[in-house]
Structure 1
């Protein structure tokens, strides 16, 4: 099985790494983008290669257009692009809105929103039949915070992910007729190290009682949703936002 090449931003850890490995198991060659941890990215690539697929680790900050171009040039060298997972993202320490400064907002939106949009633009230019492509899939990562608001903690992060919700629907309508499916996955409370990177390593344990299924999700469970949307099994599913939240923030 050869499903072509998929670019996964932020693919060296957490949901990105789980998605990269699962995508390889389902027949994709994978470009593993990473921000700074080369060893972690290479470890993911090694698992992909053991699964019989091709893989390359590419350093890049998705807030920088020149880095995005390098990521997609690496994908071109690997083979025909068939998918993009806009997974790279950042959170920050818990903070109320009155204490948030411009530097924090610029970083939050540059990586979580601008980077996703610029990466999607590169993907569309390769995938769209209007540009000579053969179609494919873009999967954005949003968050339960986009619906819950992140009050007293991460309103800026929630707002950035709300922008991804709108972007997903708008781009899906723009490119569906040209063979490109655009969807999003909305993770809830997931056991990854993003909580520690935001200065709150114990957040998952505190949130358990607020989750209807009474447990956190795993990166693999989110990856299953992502890779389904990458695959031809989702061929009649553009413009959807699939919640993987354990029942929290799942309802309209």
Structure 2
């Protein structure tokens, strides 16, 4: 089984890569910046006895995405895709504080990037194109429902688009042997918050989470791997929220 994980070098993406290897997947670890974390994740995949290929690609670039999926063929026929790569675009603020270039870049990565990767995956996995089928899991966010007011409304909107794309694509390709679903994490311990200049963000919001804490990347990875697995064989078009009840 060959799995492409976009944004696989850190946080939730890295946790997905490592757990996928433990569950029998060979993994393409996509990254767009510093290669060192991707190489480290690849080594953890290999330590689990699976093949790994770290590959640099900007998911908003059509040429990069094609190259990413062509390279994945080195590990074997594609069986799965996790669209995890995403950006918030800026430090938090109200919608009226954002420059249009920031919003465009966020939509390019978070929406166009998911579209491009889904398209290439379908072209390789669909029985319509001679493939054997497979599964796609898009990483959304509970922000698509809550709106992320005062922080990242544009980001929340991009994740709402991912939810809609998930549902629509699931209907298009279910008869082609491909299941498409999404996981929508809530507050999760990753480097995103500190990078945005909000190191205390999770502590601030923990009081609003019924379970009283933020999640861990490994908890999101478990939901993703379930949706990729045969155990979810009758699940398509679902958006599974993993947010501690918030």
Deviation digits for residues 121-168 of structure 1 (CA, Å, limit 9, x no counterpart): 000001111111101000001001100011111100000000001000
In the other structure, the counterpart of 1:89 is 86
Cα distance between partner residues in 2 of 1:90 and 1:198: 10
In the other structure, the counterpart of 2:226 is 228
* Pairs within 5 Å for 1:7-156: 7-91=4-88, 92-156=90-154
Deviation digits for residues 156-193 of structure 1 (CA, Å, limit 9, x no counterpart): 00000000010000000000011000000000000000
* Pairs within 5 Å for 1:174-213: 174-213=172-211
* Pairs within 5 Å for 1:232-247: 232-247=230-245
1:31 aligns to what SS in structure 2? strand
Q: Which moved more, 1:13-22 or 1:93-102?
A: 93-102
1:40 aligns to what SS in structure 2? helix
Deviation digits for residues 71-107 of structure 1 (CA, Å, limit 9, x no counterpart): 1111111101000000000012111111122101111
Taking structure 2 as the reference length, the TM-score comes to 0.98
- Structural RMSD (CA): 0.7
Cα distance, 1:198 vs. partner? Answer: 2.2
Runs of at least 4 residues off by over 6 Å: none
Cα distance between partner residues in 1 of 2:128 and 2:4: 20
Taking structure 1 as the reference length, the TM-score comes to 0.96
1:7 aligns to what SS in structure 2? strand
2:148 aligns to what SS in structure 1? coil
Structure 2 residue ranges without an equivalent (≥5):
none
Cα distance, 1:232 vs. partner? Answer: 1.3
2:207 aligns to what SS in structure 1? helix
